[in-house]
Amino acid sequence: MSDFWLNFQLLIFNFQTMKGLEFPIVSTKVPGLKKKFDLTSPKGRKDYFEAKVGDEIGHLRNFLDKNTFVAYLLGKKNSGKGTYAKLFTEIFGEDKVEHVSVGDIVRDVHTNWKSFANSDDYKRLRQLYRGYISYEAAIKTLLGRSTKTLLPTEFVLALLKIHIEKLEGKSIFLDGLPRESDQVSYSLYFRDIINYRGDPDMFVIIDIPEAVINERIKYRVVCPKCQTSRNKKLLITSKIEYDTKSGEFYLVCDNPKCPGARMEAKEGDDTGIEPIRDRLQKDDEIMRNVFSLHGVPKILLRNHVPKVEAREYFDEYELTPEYSFIYDEEKKKVKVLEKPWTMKDDNGVDSNSLLAPPVVVSMIKQLFDVLNL
Ligand SMILES: [Zn+2]
């Protein structure tokens, strides 16, 4: 095979993902860096980011001292949008960046309606709102929270504006808009709407195979006391126990702020992505829609890599492990086994999944380019 042809095929292979859309693999390798970092602790992550993208972080820090940006997070449900925003905030500080979740804001107003109705925000919302249904009707929809009737986008935008006005010029990761295809064009003018006029803005689009979403739901367990969420296969706690009666292994919550409890699966989670298939389809549509937009820069994140290339671009500790357990009858102890998790991406290619920190490394590198630092 000629070199040209081989390179051409490699190129195609490198970019092939999410059925037709191109997401580059951004390597995190640093020449000569052999150290293994503990990505589960804040201190380990701090050292890791410093070693992998310390230079970019320095420049970004300077930028964030005097400027702000607006990033629109786009990814299928359960793709880890919140996790990436949280890690970014961990690096740059809560005084610099805010993860603005549209769903959380709407839920919050709904849950605390009585106090909201008596606040200045309520008056301000009434002033700001303009749309095709009356303000009263929009409020009714909000309080009824029927999942069938959608809140008017104009109403959601007014709520967001009020929320963002209080952030005192922090950079923003907006999560949850656009949520419908007809909302995509709003994101083109969003920075004007919220008075971040001179800000650079960009889409951050996450590519995640459905197999990953499926297993994240299927093996999810939650602490009944503190609601901490973990995964029996992909994200375990430090304490695993064995139920001799049922022959089942279970995670014990190790949140330091929690007294600890047996973590349980939620009803229906065993069916995986099936119940959210429509939502995933819609998310897919919106991402394709945004892909075809011009003028707004795009940061493209993939949380998976073809297995045959994983070691070339990433270090082993950056790959999502898969855990399994064995019970030692004699010692009455649970043994934890660990290996890189292999699954098929949406094109049927054997792939490894990346832990969140290496994806954030890719985000920082691309953000550095987008901002021309
Ligand atoms: Zn707990």
- Residue pLDDT, tens place only, 287-323: 999 998 999 999 999 999 999 999 999 999 999 999 9
pLDDT band of 243, cuts 50, 70, 90: very high
How sure is the predictor about 145, in pLDDT bands with cuts at 50, 70 and 90?
low
- 228 CA to centre of ligand 1 in angstroms: 6
C-alpha torsion sign, points 28, 373, 14, 358: positive
Average pLDDT over the chain, rounded to an integer: 91
User: In whole angstroms, what separates CA 85 from the centre of its chain?
Assistant: 7
Cα(361) to centroid(ligand 1), Å: 30
Q: What is the structure's pLDDT at 269?
A: 94
Which is more confidently placed, 238 or 149? 238
Residue that is written with structure tokens 């979740």 in the block: 101
What's the 3-state SS for the chain? CCHHHHHHHHHHHHHEECCCEECCCCCCCCCCCCCCCCCCCHHHHHHHHHHHHHHHHHHHHHHHHHCCCEEEEECCCCCCHHHHHHHHHHHHCCCCEEEEEHHHHHHHHHHCHHHHHCCHHHHHHHHHCCCCCCHHHHHHHHHHCCCCCCCCHHHHHHHHHHHHHCCCCCEEEEECCCCCHHHHHHHHHHHHHCCCCCCCEEEEEEECCHHHHHHHHHCEEECCCCCCEEECCCECCCEEEEECCCCEEEEECCCCCCCCCECECCCCHHHCCHHHHHHHHHHHHHHHHHHCCCCCCEEEEECEEEHHHHHHHCCHHHECEEEEEEEECCCCEEEEEEEECEEECCCCCEEEEECHHHHHHHHHHHHHHHCCC
187-242 residue pLDDT tens: 888 998 888 878 999 999 999 999 999 999 999 999 999 999 999 999 999 999 99
What residues have a C-beta under 5 A from ligand 1, the ion?
A: 223, 225-226, 228, 253, 255, 258
Query: The whole model's pTM is what?
Result: 0.88
Mean pLDDT over residues 166-176, rounded? 92
Confidence (pLDDT) at 168: 82
Q: Cα of 229 to ligand 1 centre, how many Å?
A: 9
| Residue 13 confidence class, pLDDT cut points 50, 70, 90 | very low
- What is the distance in A from the centroid of ligand 1 to the CA of 257? 8
Contact 223, 255 (CB under 8 A): yes
Percent residues over pLDDT 70 in the chain = 93
Centre of ligand 1 to C-alpha 87, Å, is 21
> Does position 5 have pLDDT exceeding 70, yes or no?
no
Tell how far the Cα of 83 is from the centroid of ligand 1, in angstroms: 19
Compute, in angstroms, the gap from residue 251 CA to the centroid of ligand 1. Answer: 10
Q: What is the pLDDT of residue 7?
A: 56
**pLDDT of res. 325:** 97
Residue 361's nearest CA partner among 101, 69, 60, 76 is 60
Q: What pLDDT was estimated at residue 181?
A: 86
pLDDT tens-place string over residues 60-116: 999 999 999 999 999 998 899 999 999 999 999 999 999 999 999 999 999 999 999
Per-residue tokens: 255: 């949140």
- Per DSSP bridges, beta strands 333-340 and 321-328 are antiparallel
Categorize the per-residue pLDDT at 6 as very low, low, confident or very high, splitting at 50, 70 and 90. Answer: low
Residue 180: the pLDDT is 87
Q: Phi and psi of 133, rounded to 5°?
A: -115, 160
Instruction: With beta carbons less than 8 A apart as the criterion, state whether 274 and 4 touch.
Output: no
Residues 6+ apart with CB under 8 A from 158: 125, 128, 129
Phi then psi for 200, rounded to 5 degrees? -70, 140
What is the CA(221)–ligand 1 centre distance, in A? 11
Tell me which range, 19-23, 190-194, 197-201, 354-358, is most confidently predicted by mean pLDDT: 354-358
For the residues 271-291, what does the mean pLDDT come to?
93
Q: What is the mean pLDDT of residues 134-141?
A: 90
* Rounded distance from Cα 262 to ligand 1 centre (Å): 8
Digit-coded pLDDT (tens) for 339-351: 999 999 999 999 9
